[in-house]
Structures are given as structure tokens and as C-alpha cells.
Amino acid sequence: MKISCFIFGEQALAIQCGDLLLNANHEVRGIVAENPDIGTWAQTRGVRLVDPASDVGAVLKERPFDYLFSIANMKLLPKEIVALPRRGTINFHDGPLPRYSGVHATSWAILNGEARHGITWHFIGDRVDGGSILKQREIEIAPDETAFSLNAKCFEAGIESFAELMNVLRSGTVRACEQDLSQRTYFGMFRRPPAACVVSWQKNAAEISALVRATEFGPYPNAMGRAKIQIGGEFFLCPKVEVLSGRGHAQPGSIMALEADRIIVSTPDRPVAISEFLTLEGQPARLDDVVQKFGLQTGTRLPEPEPDLRERVTRANGDLCKHEHFWVQALQLFRPAQVPYFEARSLGDGGKTPDTIEMAVPEAVEQFLRTNHPDWNASEFLVFAFAAYLARLCGEDELSLGLKYPELALEVAGLESLFASRVPLNLRVNAAEGFAGQFGRWRDGWS
């Protein structure tokens, strides 16, 4: 039986499954995606590309179809979309349901010390990742497994099992089994490891290794966070640790040995070796430079945040990660104003440049707002008026500013080495339009 379908998906697995369907002469009516790579594939294979921002429901309702496949798709599908196919909506999940439902299943499996993992193809029901199961495949977790390598294994298992699933769907002998929800575990979109993934030397070596491996995503986007080590007052990314034999004979976090290419650190049980450091920006930090800068030597005890501070970091990370995607997109569009004749000058005290300059707001400005625009927020007005002035001065219609919210600055005070206290403000200025008309749009975009 030839089946007709649509696909929702943003990653290469959606392409691979699409190829399997087309090569088996099934009808792929369209793929809903914004990933340019998938757009290129769709054009090459003659598949309709549907913009997720368009009226997707209207497209899917044009003609009846059999199945909708959600493959490596991070967005929850509306119930009205799920209900459209005649035979059902099927989702790929990178976990052995009912266990490890939710997000970042591979990372949580590594963090929890699992020896085996799995993938699942299931119908979408009323509960997230809770629908009846069509096909599963077990995967072994290697001792040195990272999130990146385990994701690759899930990818391969997904392709292999989809070919089997496709044959079942074509034959019409679909048998799905209900999940035992008493065994369900769920990991939400914004669940994160404690203390923003800062290593605690009070954990044993296996737990430290698991944290590092679970947060290594290779070249792919990582919303979960990366393992960090505190040295002095700074933090460094730690992409790899090696658990050594023997026992640590010093206090946890103490440097047991400084070798040419690695640092040996004690934990409550076995020592670990660290051979690579990265800055928080992801740039390599030479081991000998780190040793020299912080005066590291045998016996030096690496610091870690106190329990109260770790809890504060955990809370801040839990709050801020909910908005991180928005700010990452804003940073990608960041365009600093090119102010003519401006040259940053040092103040003479160590070469630091000015951080803040206090300026009194003229009474005339306050009077103007009270008289003409009593509903305008004075702080917002001053920010956007300054931005409009810069745009005119620079002759640019797009520019960005770094904005410091008092509330955000207070929340991350003392944690600036982990969290940014400034956020990007991107503006488009139309010189042909008056300020008042643009102010409302800017303010809406800001809030």
C-alpha cells in the first residue's frame, strides 16, 4: 500500500527518512521546516517546502493524507494538526519511552549513569511523548560516550528502525502498544544540571566525567550548557576529563600533579586528568598559560562555589535559560553603531575604559514628557531617543546597543563571570518617519 504523508523536522534525520519514503515510492506531500539545508533537499527531491510561519493547517487540509511524521522536531504540534492525518501522527523520540521522555534524553541518560539507552517511534497522543509505541531499538552506552556520540547512535538507530516501521505502515499491519506510564520519567525543556554545569569536586570521578560527557554536543547547538571548572575567579569550559586508576590521596579538588599536557586533580575516590581548557567563548586556553596565570602547582586546591552560591547559580540559570534562545538570536543580529571620530580612551588606571557615565536628565525633557506624552516611560524614552540620535549621527538605519537592565544586573550580581549583565537591543530606524510613530514599535519589540 502506498502511503501519503507530511514531515515536520529540522535536522538531517528528517531528510534521511524522507529519502526512504521517496525511494519506496511513497508520496511525501511536503516537509515543514525552516532549515536551509532541508529547503535545498526539498527542492532537489521535488518535495513541497512549507514555511512553519505560514498557515500550515491550510496546506495540510488541501487533500486528505495518511500519516504525519514529526522527526527531530523540537516544537510541539497543535492538537488540530495532530488530528489531520487519516491514520495518525508519528513522532521520533531519542529515548527508550516511557523512560526519558522530554528533552535532552541522551544527556540525562549519561548523567544518570545508564548502561543502555534507546529510541522510540510512537503515535502522538494527549501527553508529551506519551502515545502508544510502534517501534523501539536499544542502544549500548559506551564508558566514554558523549551526548554527541550517543545522539549519532540514536540517529543511526532511527534510520534503521524507520525503514522497518515504513514496511509495517505500508502493509497495514500496524500494532501499537500502550506505554506503562508508571515507569515514565520526564525531563522538561528548561531542566538543567545544577550550578550551570560548574564541576563540584565533592562529586566522585564518574559523576564528574558524566557531567562533562553529557554536555558535549560536538558541532551542534547546545542549549543545555557545558561543564565548567573554576580557577581563581574565572571559569573555563572543560570538554574532556579522563578518570584515572588508583585513589586520590589529597583533598577533593587538589592538584595532585602538573604534567606537560594535563593536570591531575583529586576527587573523593579516583583522580581525574584534565588536558584541555576553553574560554567561555569557546577559544582554546593553553594549559601552560592557565598554570602560569593562576600560579597553579602541586597541592593547589581548585575552588568551587559554596553551597549557597551554587544554589543561587542554579536558580539564576533556571530563570535565564528560558529566554536564552531569544537573546542568542538577538546577538546574531547585533550590529554595533559605528560612531564617527570616536576612539575609546583609557582612564589611566590599568587601561580600563569607562563603564558608566552619569548624566542628569534636563528638567525640559521631563516637562516635555509630562506635557506631551504622560503615558511614555521616561527610561524607555531616553534609551530610544539616544538610539535615534546615534542612528542619525552614524548615518545608519540599523544599529544595536548593549542594554543593562537594573533587575537583571541585580539578579546576576557577583555572577558576571557566568551570566551576562547586558543584553542586546537591536533597532531599525526610519529617518523619514517621526520619532513618536517608531517609539511604539520599538517599545513593543523591547518588551
> Could you tell me the CATH number of the domain that includes residue 139?
3.40.50.170
* Distances 147 to 5, 14, 28 between C-alpha atoms, Å: 31, 20, 31
Domain co-membership, 26 together with 158:
yes
CB neighbour class for 107 (10 Å; exposed up to 12, middle 13-18, buried from 19): buried
Residue 370 placed within a domain = yes
Q: In this predicted structure, what is the pLDDT of residue 346?
A: 46
Domain co-membership, 406 together with 439:
yes
Residue 114 placed within a domain = yes
Name the residue with cell 606537560: 260
- Give the pLDDT band (50/70/90) at residue 350: very low
Domain co-membership, 34 together with 152:
yes
Q: Which three cell numbers stand for residue 315?
A: 536558580
Domain co-membership, 67 together with 15:
yes
Q: In this predicted structure, what is the pLDDT of residue 305?
A: 87
Residue 211 placed within a domain = yes
Q: Which three cell numbers stand for residue 371?
A: 506635557
Q: Residues, the chain, total?
A: 447
Q: In this predicted structure, what is the pLDDT of residue 356?
A: 66
Q: Cβ distance 411 to 316 under 8 Å?
A: yes
Domain co-membership, 280 together with 219:
yes
- Give the pLDDT band (50/70/90) at residue 263: very high
Residues 6+ apart with CB under 8 A from 419: 316, 317, 320, 412
Residue 382 placed within a domain = yes
Of 120, 152, 187, the domain-final residue:
187
Domain co-membership, 13 together with 118:
yes
Name the residue with cell 520619532: 435
Q: Cβ distance 326 to 300 under 8 Å?
A: no
* Closest-CA residue to 85 (of 101, 70, 75, 74): 70
Percent of the chain clearing pLDDT 90 (strictly above): 73
Q: Cβ distance 199 to 211 under 8 Å?
A: yes
* Distances 34 to 38, 203, 315 between C-alpha atoms, Å: 8, 42, 33
Of 138, 171, 187, the domain-final residue:
187
Domain co-membership, 183 together with 200:
no
Residue 326 placed within a domain = no
- Sequence letter at residue 353: T
Domain co-membership, 294 together with 210:
yes
Of 148, 169, 187, the domain-final residue:
187
- Sequence letter at residue 106: T
> What is the per-residue DSSP string for 407-437?
HHHHHTTT-TTTS-S-EEEEEE--TTS-HHH
Host H or E run for residue 237: strand 234-237
Residue 365 placed within a domain = yes
For residue 349, pLDDT beyond 60: no
For residue 212, pLDDT beyond 90: yes
> What average pLDDT does the segment 127-145 reach?
97
Residue 349 placed within a domain = no
* Distances 432 to 182, 337, 340, 425, 441 between C-alpha atoms, Å: 63, 19, 22, 21, 15
* Closest-CA residue to 7 (of 76, 90, 119): 90
Q: Which residues pair with 198 in a beta bridge?
A: 228
Percent of the chain clearing pLDDT 70 (strictly above): 96
Q: Where are the alpha helices (DSSP H) in 9-104?
A: 12-23, 36-45, 56-60, 79-82
Cα 258 versus chain centre, distance: 34
- The DSSP letter of residue 203 is S
Domain co-membership, 207 together with 286:
yes
Please write the tens of the pLDDT for every residue from 393-408: 888 889 898 888 888 8
Q: Cβ distance 101 to 187 under 8 Å?
A: yes
> What average pLDDT does the segment 366-381 reach?
91
For residue 293, pLDDT beyond 60: yes
CB neighbour class for 278 (10 Å; exposed up to 12, middle 13-18, buried from 19): middle
Cα 176 versus chain centre, distance: 33
**Beta strands 67-70 and 88-93: pairing type?**
parallel
The CATH number of whichever domain residue 214 belongs to comes to 3.10.25.10
Domain co-membership, 120 together with 242:
no
> What average pLDDT does the segment 64-85 reach?
96
Q: What is the mean pLDDT of the chain?
A: 92
Q: Cβ distance 29 to 63 under 8 Å?
A: yes
Quote the number of domains for the chain.
Answer: 3
Domain co-membership, 199 together with 183:
no
Residues 6+ apart with CB under 8 A from 172: 1
Domain co-membership, 164 together with 45:
yes
Residues 6+ apart with CB under 8 A from 54: none
Residue 315 placed within a domain = no
- Give the pLDDT band (50/70/90) at residue 262: very high
Of the candidate ranges 2-6, 164-168, 386-390, the one whose mean pLDDT is the lowest: 386-390
Rounded Cα–Cα distance for residues 408 and 421 (Å): 6
Q: Which three cell numbers stand for residue 75?
A: 516544537
Highest mean pLDDT among 61-75, 321-335, 378-392, 409-423: 61-75
Domain that holds residue 43: 4-187
